[in-house]
Amino acid sequence: MPLRLRSERGELRLITTVTTFATAVDVTLAELKLEAFLPADAATAQSLAAWGSSPG
């Protein structure tokens, strides 16, 4: 299910991916999960790119 957020730049639509290290031998890595949020549409991608390149 896409994540929808309201911001100063309008509505942002994101999808999420989760990566797990299921075959890790180290207990610390076995518990580690990485979650990434990616733009779900072109408008969100453009908004985030502009936000990331703006100063300050």
DSSP 37-52: EEESSHHHHHHHHHHH
Q: Residues 14, 3: contact at Cβ < 8 Å?
A: yes
Q: What is the Cα–Cα distance from 53 to 28, expressed in whole angstroms?
A: 35
Range of the domain at 33: 3-53
> Which has more pLDDT, 54 or 9?
9
How many domains, in total, are found in the chain?
A: 1
Q: Residues 13, 41: contact at Cβ < 8 Å?
A: yes
What does the pLDDT look like over 9-44, one tens digit per residue? 899 999 999 988 777 577 767 778 899 999 999 999
Q: Confidence band (pLDDT; 50, 70, 90) for 54?
A: confident
Residue 34, SS3? strand
Tokens for 29, please give them: 């890595």
